[in-house]
């Protein structure tokens, strides 16, 4: 097994006295684990920061053996971890991706989306510029893993206009007219989840409420639910930024 590819670092776990086991997302070969010799050294540790863009080279004698991984830094996002909000965003994005994606399965859309949202966190002058993209990324993960929401038309009437809610049971959109009298049982659907574009803070939090509900129900169960603590820290810091 020999693979050379650009990748985004997702997680790093110490192994032995000096090494580290790294999981990184590649464009064509999905999540790839590898053992980095000296991964805990002062020279290599900054390269293995989650969210960093690297060029990785994985080598193993067999497909079932943990590959030896050598890394070259392409772009460091380490400075973002000195700021509370960007740090919380990158921690959540990488932890969620590492938790949900199976190894060695190609997810080119997820790679492109993660790369884009991490770039947005790095480039935007405030969280307002990237917070909505977190919800859209979570929505993509749900879809790619078989739990996509049906937001194109009303699940009750088939109408494509005035979609204002999401059913927490079916994951389908509900029009304002069809929701009459049942609004309290439904999740508010912000327009940016369908059409993209900018979102106000109320819309951002509404979008995050939708994706959290379905992530918790369908994907983050059992031990995987532990990763939700990182999401809680992110949302708490976003709420503080608005207050």
pLDDT digits (tens, 9 = 90+) for 65-97: 899 999 999 999 999 999 999 999 999 999 999
Question: Domain range holding 231?
Answer: 79-242
- What's the structural domain count of the chain? 2
Question: What are the two backbone dihedrals, phi and then psi, of residue 171, each rounded to the nearest 5 degrees?
Answer: 75, 15
152 shares a domain with 218: yes
pLDDT of 12 above 80 = yes
- Mean pLDDT, rounded, of the chain: 95
Calculate mean pLDDT across residues 173-184: 97
49 shares a domain with 84: no
Would you state the pLDDT for residue 197? 78
pTM: 0.95
pLDDT of 227 above 80 = yes
Residue indicated by tokens 């193993």: 60
Q: 21, 49, 76 — which closes off a domain? A: 76
CB atoms closer than 10 angstroms to residue 238? 21
Calculate mean pLDDT across residues 213-233: 96
**Exposure class string for 74-96: b at 16+ Cβ within 10 A, else e:** eeebeebeeeebbbbbbbbbbbb
């Amino acid at each position: 097994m020999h693979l050379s590819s650009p990748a985004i670092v997702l997680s790093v776990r110490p192994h032995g006295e000096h090494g580290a086991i790294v999981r990184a997302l590649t464009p064509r070969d999905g999540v790839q684990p590898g053992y980095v010799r000296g991964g805990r050294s002062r020279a290599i540790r900054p390269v293995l920061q989650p969210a960093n863009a690297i060029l990785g080279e994985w080598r193993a004698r067999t497909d079932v053996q943990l590959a030896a991984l050598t890394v070259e830094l392409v772009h460091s996002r380490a400075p973002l971890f000195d700021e509370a909000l960007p740090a919380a965003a990158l921690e959540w994005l990488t932890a969620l991706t590492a938790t949900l994606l199976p190894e060695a399965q190609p997810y080119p859309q997820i790679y492109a989306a993660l790369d884009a949202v991490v770039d947005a966190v790095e480039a935007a002058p405030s969280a307002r510029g990237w917070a909505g993209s977190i919800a859209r990324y979570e929505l993509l993960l749900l879809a790619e893993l078989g739990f996509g929401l049906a937001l194109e038309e009303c699940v009750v009437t088939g109408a494509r206009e005035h979609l204002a809610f999401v059913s927490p049971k079916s994951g389908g959109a509900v029009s304002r007219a069809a929701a009459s009298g049942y609004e309290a049982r439904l999740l508010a659907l912000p327009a940016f989840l369908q059409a993209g574009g900018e979102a106000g803070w109320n819309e951002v939090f509404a979008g995050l409420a939708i994706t959290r509900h379905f992530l918790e129900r369908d994907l983050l169960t059992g031990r995987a639910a532990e990763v939700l603590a990182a999401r809680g820290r992110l949302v708490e810091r976003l709420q503080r930024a608005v207050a």
